[in-house]
Chains A and B, each alone.
Chain A
Amino acid sequence: KQEVTQIPAALSVPEGENLVLNCSFTDSAIYNLQWFRQDPGKGLTSLLLIQSSQREQTSGRLNASLDKSSGRSTLYIAASQPGDSATYLCAVPRSNTGKLIFGQGTTLQVKP
């Protein structure tokens, strides 16, 4: 059974810091891993999707890495800004139906 865990559950940093969010999964036979952002009371915004054959993906100040053998992914945010404050979720699809298994999320607060 696939389980997804995110550490830490909450993180508070001053503006400008670089930070790393962690995601681990128990079954390394994944198709891909997706990182999402969720703002309070809002839906999910897809940030990055890393295919199982890839090691990392970059979008602007975000860089996500994937290490299937160790069952880990990290989301690196460079030069954090108050606007980055949100909950970050990682998810992996279970089987080939695409249904996503989510971690509990890391709630990030970036203080100005």
Chain B
Amino acid sequence: NAGVMQNPRHLVRRRGQEARLRCSPMKGHSHVYWYRQLPEEGLKFMVYLQKENIIDESGMPKERFSAEFPKEGPSILRIQQVVRGDSAAYFCASSQSVQGVETQYFGPGTRLLVL
């Protein structure tokens, strides 16, 4: 089992460009969570998805940010028209189920730098 995979590991964008972050959950996991870690701050929940459904996006900014988890392929976190304040580490986590709230397994993260 390869674990949670994220790519790219590092991403540099200029202000106004788009950033696409990908997350492949562990095999057999159908629950995906995205978290953001701003410099010198803790990890904050952004969005929770199951296959083809957004379950909870209460932590995601209302504008410029979107997420999807299609039936086939990885989960995508998309940031349009990036600004310097979007520079952060973005982590994806997956779990097998929510019942009993199981352990979440984290990927290595994507470090986004906006110039």
Chain A interface residues toward B at CB < 8 A? 31-32, 34, 36, 41-46, 49, 51, 89, 91, 93-94, 96-105
Contact = CB atoms under 8 A, between A and B. Distances in A.
The 3 closest A-B pairs by CB, nearest first: A44-B106, A31-B101, A43-B108
Interface of B: 4, 31, 33, 35, 41-45, 48, 55-56, 59, 91, 93, 95, 98, 100-109, 111
Contacts, number: 65
Q: Is the interface of A mostly helix, strand, loop or mixed?
A: strand
A98 B31 contact: yes
Contacts of B59: 99
A68 B105 CA distance: 24
A97 B106 contact: no
B43 A46 contact: no
A46 B48 contact: no
Contacts of B48: 97-99
Nearest to B56: A97
Contacts of A51: 100
Contacts of A97: 48, 55-56, 98
